[in-house]
Amino acid sequence: QQQVKQSPQSLIVQKGGISIINCAYENTAFDYFPWYQQFPGKGPALLIAIRPDVSEKKEGRFTISFNKSAKQFSLHIMDSQPGDSATYFCAASMVNFNKFYFGSGTKLNVKP
């Protein structure tokens, strides 16, 4: 059973557009939701993270929107750039368990 479901599997966006990636989870005990960015040949790197006590977190062009009642969270990339082309993973974990459940990933391609 997949704990975190991510969609879409792939996404093509024009330069300057908004990229939106969605994730849903089942376990209400999750209380930490990070997003990771992975470039080819590299390991994932933490992009932005949120806890369920806030509904939105913004860092530069990247925003996480969190809907606790729907058990969903999403990543919005504003003014998408070709350099944003990468695979994005959402994840969820519980405090002190240090065990992350990852989504299956979204391959983003930003066209110039």
Partner 1 sequence: EAGVTQSPTHLIKTRGQQATLRCSPISGHTSVYWYQQALGLGLQFLLWYDEGEERNRGNFPPRFSGRQFPNYSSELNVNALELEDSALYLCASSLGTGWYNEQFFGPGTRLTVL
Question: CB 45 → partner 1: shortest distance, Å?
Answer: 7
Nearer to partner 1, 72 or 100 (CB): 100
Nearer to partner 1, 2 or 14 (CB): 2
Nearer to partner 1, 66 or 89 (CB): 89
Which residues contribute to the site for partner 1 (CB under 8 A)? 4, 6, 9, 31-32, 36, 41-46, 89, 91, 93-105
DSSP codes, the chain: --SEEEE-SEEEEETTS-EEEEEEE--TT--BEEEEEE-TTS--EEEEEE-TT-SEEEETTEEEEEETTTTEEEEEESS--GGG-EEEEEEEB-TTT---EE---EEEEEE-
Question: CB 16 → partner 1: shortest distance, Å?
Answer: 29
